[in-house]
A = this chain, B = another copy of it.
Amino acid sequence: MKRLTHIDEAGRARMVDVSGKPVTLREAVARGSVCMERETIRLISEGRAPKGDVLATARLAGIMAAKRTCELIPLCHQLNLTSVTVDFEIDEDNKRINIESVARCQGQTGVEMEALVAVSIAALTIYDMCKAIDRGIIISDIMLMEKSGGKSGVWKREGLSGDP
């Protein structure tokens, strides 16, 4: 029978004890999408500077937030990321910007949450920079794509195809 690892026997929230876990290279890949009006995506993708700055701002916001994951997610462990990237794909046909983040560390616990936080805050930053012209923007499909490292090994999302 599966049990929620953050809920102990008495039903109290707890941080999983990773004291005895070995230090290994951990990696996680997460994705998400920001869906907007065609005019908004054009304003972002046209013109050199505006596009550069909207996505450059969102990239930095994602990277910086990833480093503070353990302050935001109550039961997350502190860890020192050795790398985190945030990349974007502008999909004008589907009126969405796709976001992918890859996080890495040498540690005793995984970095899924760091990659997911990077994607989420990058998406929210895009919203913030465009909300005056398009309040209806929707953030969707934030999910883990794959992870590796640690006892549970490699995990990959099934049933999806295509690169971001």
Q: Which A residues contact B (CB, under 8 angstroms)? A: 2-7, 10-19, 21, 25, 32, 39, 43-44, 47-50, 52-54, 56-57, 59-61, 63-65, 67-68, 70-85, 87, 104-108, 112-113, 116-117, 120-121, 123-125, 127-133, 135-144, 147, 155, 157
Contact = CB atoms under 8 A, between A and B. Distances in A.
A112 B131 contact: yes
B67 A71 contact: yes
Contacts of A16: 83
A116 B127 contact: yes
Stoichiometry, copies per complex: 6
Contacts of A59: 12-13
B64 A128 contact: no
Nearest to A65: B72
Most B Cβ at <10 Å: residue of A19, A128, A137, A155 = A128
A39 B142 CA distance: 20
Most B Cβ at <10 Å: residue of A13, A56, A112 = A13
